[in-house]
Structure formats: C-alpha cells, structure tokens
Amino acid sequence: MWTHEESMETTATPVQIWALFSDVPGWKKWNSGIEYLEMRGPFANGSTFSMQPPGEEAFVSTLTNVKENEGFTDETVIDATYVLVHHKIIPLASGLTRVSYSTEITGPSATEFGPMVTSDFAEVLAALKKLAESRG
C-alpha cells in the first residue's frame, strides 16, 4: 500500500469549502491538473465523474462516503490498482478549517501511481484556499 497526506488550514468555513468540493465542474478553477471533467449524476455516493489530466488518459472515479460539509472520497480503479483519495473538512477549535487530502493506493502499480496522483496536492490545496477565502 502507498499512502500520502497533505493538508492546509484556512479561514474559510466548512460550508464554503463544501460549496467548492460539490461543484465538480468548478474544480478546474482551483485544480490546474484538470484538462477535462464531466460529472455523471449528483454529488452523492455512487455517482461517477470522468477526469483527464493534461496530456494523459482520462479515467473514471466513483464518489463514496459523501458527507455534506465534512468531506468525500473518490475511488479510481486502473488496471487492478485502487486509488482512494479522502477529502476531509475538519473544523478546528481555533475557528479555522483544516482541509486534508489523504491517499491510499493498493495494487500492482501503487508505487508508480502514488507520486503521480499526489504530486500537485499542495498546489491544489493552496489554490482551493485562495479561492475559498476570496469568496468569504
């Protein structure tokens, strides 16, 4: 198993972060690693979306563990390798909100996929923070 976690803290509220998470077509505003994105169904357990990073093959992910204002998981299976990315929204006692991306990858290509999947997480979280705080 290959694991990785990145997080950031923001003045944005869980509701503000959730609004950005649940607007899948809007992900391109804060995630430059998306060339093409198509949501199939509501932002709910079992719905799928297709996403294509620049210069790469598109893949399909399934939403699981969707909890409003708390987070969600997306699951992607590519050639028997399972990629789970948990997107968590955690209110802190300080009044700030922590947003965490934690990844678990299992299967034959786990060590190959891991760095590719997570290499831009810090950049993505920084862009998410900037957009969420600008809407405050």
Tell me the sheet residues that pair with 85.
Answer: 74, 103
Mention the CATH class of domain 2-134: alpha beta
Tell me the domain boundaries of the chain. Answer: 2-134
Q: Model confidence at 135, in pLDDT bands (50, 70, 90)?
A: confident
pLDDT value of residue 43 = 97
Query: 53: Cβ–Cβ under 8 A, 6 or more apart, which residues?
Result: 33, 34, 35
pLDDT tens, position by position, 25-82: 999 999 998 999 999 999 999 999 999 988 889 999 999 999 999 999 999 999 999 9
pLDDT tens, position by position, 76-96: 999 999 999 999 999 999 999
What is the pTM for the complete model shown? Answer: 0.94
Give dist(CA 58, CA 79) in Å, integer: 13
